[in-house]
Copies of this chain bind each other. A is one copy, B any other.
Amino acid sequence: MILVNGKLTGQINVLDRGLHYGDGLFETIAYKNKHLLLWDEHWRRLAKSAKILNIDLPDKELIRQELDFVVKGQEDMVLKLLITRGVGGRGYKIPDKPNPNRIIISSDWPNHDSNLRQTGVIVRLCEMRLTRNPKLAGIKHLNRLENVIARSEWRDHSIFEGLMLDQDNYVIEGTMTNLFIIKDNEIFTSDLKYCGVEGVMREQLIKLASQLDISVKFINIKPSTLQDADEILLSNSIIGLWPVKQIQNHSYKRKPTVITEKLQHHIYTGIFY
Query: Could you say which of A4, A148, A150 has the most chain B C-beta atoms within 10 Å of its C-beta?
Result: A148
Q: Is A183's beta carbon under 8 Å from chain B?
A: no
Bound CA span A130–B78, Å: 33
Q: Are B12 and A94 in contact (CB under 8 A)?
A: no
Cβ–Cβ < 8 Å partners of A264 in chain B: none
Q: Are A15 and B105 in contact (CB under 8 A)?
A: yes
Cβ–Cβ < 8 Å partners of A2 in chain B: 14-15
Q: Are A53 and B149 in contact (CB under 8 A)?
A: yes
Bound CA span A2–B105, Å: 25
Q: Are A146 and B133 in contact (CB under 8 A)?
A: yes
Q: Is A135's beta carbon under 8 Å from chain B?
A: yes
Q: Are B23 and A145 in contact (CB under 8 A)?
A: yes
Distance (whole angstroms) from the CB of A217 to the closest CB of chain B: 25
Q: Is A89's beta carbon under 8 Å from chain B?
A: yes
Residue of B10, B19, B176 touching A18 (CB-CB under 8 A): B19
Q: Are A21 and B142 in contact (CB under 8 A)?
A: yes
Residue of B nearest to A11 (CB): B11
Query: Could you say which of A12, A131, A176 has the most chain B C-beta atoms within 10 Å of its C-beta?
Result: A131
Q: Is A26's beta carbon under 8 Å from chain B?
A: yes
Bound CA span A37–B74, Å: 54
Q: Are B19 and A21 in contact (CB under 8 A)?
A: no
Q: Are B132 and A167 in contact (CB under 8 A)?
A: yes
Q: Are A152 and B16 in contact (CB under 8 A)?
A: no
Bound CA span A231–B11, Å: 48
Q: Is A20's beta carbon under 8 Å from chain B?
A: yes
Given that A4-B14, A12-B12 are known contacts, is A78 also in contact with B90, CB under 8 Å in the complex? yes
A-B contact pairs, 10 of them (CB 8 A): A11-B12, A21-B144, A21-B145, A53-B145, A54-B152, A92-B151, A92-B176, A129-B135, A131-B133, A133-B167
If A92-B150, A128-B135 are given as contacts, then 13 extra A-B residue pairs at C-beta distance below 8 Å, sorted by A number, are: A9-B14, A10-B14, A10-B15, A15-B105, A21-B142, A21-B145, A22-B142, A80-B90, A89-B107, A91-B151, A92-B176, A94-B152, A142-B145
